[in-house]
Structure 1
Amino acid sequence: MAPIVTGEAQFAAVPAAVGIISAFGLVFTVPLFAWICCQRKSVKTNKTPPYKFVHMLKGVDIYPENLNNKKKFGADEKTELNTKNVTSPTGTKNALHLDLDKRDLNGNFTQPNYKVRSSPDLDIPSPQKCFVEESKELVTPEGLLSNNAPSSTEKTDKKAKLGTLFFSLEYNFEKKAFVVNIKEAHGLSAMDEQSMTSDPYVKMTILPDKKHRVKTRVLRKTLDPIFDETFSFYGILYGQVENLALHFMVLSFDRFSRDDVIGEVLVPLSGIDLSEGRILMNREISKRNVRKAVGRGELLVSLCYQSTTNTLTVVVLKARHVPKAESSELSDPYVKVNLYQGNKRVCKKKTHVKKRSPNPVFNELFVFDIPSEGELKDTKVELLLLDSGRLSRNDVIGQLLLCATAEGTVGEHWREICEHPRRQIAKWHTLSEA
């Protein structure tokens, strides 16, 4: 029995030893953990500001891959001021240096008091304006009067240049086909003001028949598109080529509205010899020849308001003096009628297309329901005269807006139907620019 008692005492001493060792381990672990936290906190305060803080600085583009553990992104404050006063012979801008340790959260210096000698030869910029946008330069009043500034004529020349279109012409005698290859365009105008770029594509029409219409694919976000697309037109005899003309329309695709027109190119083929093979050509893109407002034609419209049923009857009778399309051919006009309640369009209808008619006769009737609470004071009728296009969006020739606030004959026409309900009143109206 004695050995058994001794074994039980030894087993009883084991938990006591484990408890003592655990207590000593806890005493050493807690101070060690606190020391590590303090070290991490001190290191964290000396690190470079996070990316979001640096990105908030005005006019500075810094990406995460350029950040490192250094406190400074450039030279010290003295070298920064000296480098800003030195301009290169070519007029280029020196690199922008950042000294984040000496700036507050707003990007300004914490100690703005600098001793500057009052000398006319010195031109030291204020430390409050060290952060400038990349597109701007620090200039002195003398620099504003220098000859390096672009003149007004140079600015107009830059605005007038819309780009250059490159293409090639060829005639295939075996297949009796006229071949046009639209290669590329250089230096197009930017239609998107935010991204300063365009989504260009080209529409081409063979004049004067206006039978052959083609267009290239849309290239995204570029001012120097490379199309390299070939179009073959069969059935055109070689003797007929000299009587034709090519009309190129350069446009920028817009997903949410009508495509923007960059410019156009008109190439008469008279005098061009295609018997020796392919000919490479390039032409400057010119501004589109927009129709004048005085020549948009007239529209005969009849209106009738039924007060008992709260309906408005619009009869599009006919149009006259419809101008030709930009390809100098007769237009294919039709009329689109939109009904607005306030600023919201509630209904839309359109007439049939009249092929190649400068004085089309539509004679089509449309009936619109008007809510009783709105009546005619908030109602507007918009009539758009459009030129139908098979492969492109329809061009708006002219616009007519009939409402209570309109002036001239349009306002008189609207007031007459309000004063004389159930009477059909027809009048001619001159179309305006859309």
Structure 2
Amino acid sequence: MQSTFSLSTAPITVSAFGLVFSVSLFAWICCQRKSSKSNKTPPYKFVHVLKGVDIYPENLNSKKKFGVDDKSEAKSKSAMPKNSLHLDLENRDLNGNFPKTTSKMQSSPDPENSSSKHFSEKKKDSVSPDSLKSTTSLSSEEKQDKLGTLFLSLEYNFEKKAFVVSIKEARGLPAMDEQSMTSDPYIKMTILPEKKHKVKTRVLRKTLDPAFDETFTFYGIPYSQIQDLTLHFMILSFDRFSRDDVIGEVLIPLAGTELSEGRMLMDREIIKRNVRKSSGRGELLISLCYQSTTNTLTVVVLKARHLPKSDVSGLSDPYVKVNLYHVKKRISKKKTHVKKCTPNAVFNELFVFDIPCEGLDDISIEFLVLDSDRGSRNEVIGRLTLGSSAEGTGGEHWKEICEYPRRQIAKWHMLCDG
């Protein structure tokens, strides 16, 4: 009787032991995953391989970040706080930015050249707490005139005869999107005067303080020619509906720059782009798409900007008339809603026209930007014609939609006198 009882309870004991073992094993696996996530190595900096020049791969060690050797890493851990300007990738937010704290600029931005002597010799180009305080204490009117600051570093590798430009970050950029009050910034860099080397960073979404942390290495540039070069940085904001908005530019002549002592950190104020402003009647952003299968033309009136003052108050109430012509005969017409009191109107209105013939050879489309006035006849602000016989951007835009049917193509066009 006793042996029968022990045999019947044996499976229960084994199953209980298996359950306890399974739960313990599951808990151990969860703890290992959690610890591995917390100790995960941050991503490396972006290192670009450039077309048209000889590139040698950089040696990366998975145990350290790019650009920091063992000695400098040990020094930085002991002598430099974690929130210094050196780009600590663990502290980035969702947009790839760093927290806006004034304390992170109080120490050397680059652990490879963190000696006080090196930065005292380059006080003009280094980042100091005083310069940061001056930017944070600006009045609201002064901030509107400021286009931000660009932070970068320059270095020459004598072993590989390579010129290295690291675009660190930009701060205090203006908002180019009026609705979200943010920008989608990126930077184009060109080495002047030959313009042989043209590179650009990635686009960072919805931020006014982008941290690019991208390194461009140019091989085949002798150190003796560095003094004759000028670096040109164009700061832009990506716009998926049209050409990108230009925020500003930075020009850095390298004459007198001494890179034999090591890496040099610089910060430069971003200035307005030195171009001729659009004069005359303003500009209109149009998107076109020709559907060859249905023989229809889709027209989207997106934006207008820099419209002249037409009203006594100094502002106009613009709207757009769209006329479709077949062999100089108007066969259809549409118009947008009126936008009150603005020289920079956003319409975003779509119209679909049926084409009475095969192809667009005999078709043209006219855009009239008018100022709405209840008391009198509406005044024509500007005119734009697109077609196969149109000159300038109007003809180029029309040629593109004919060559690439079913593709929506948007372009800015200068308005002519009405």
| TM-score (norm: length of structure 1) | 0.36
Q: Which of 1 and 2 has greater Rg?
A: 1
With a CA cutoff of 8 Å and minimum separation of 6, indicate the structure with the bigger relative contact order: 2
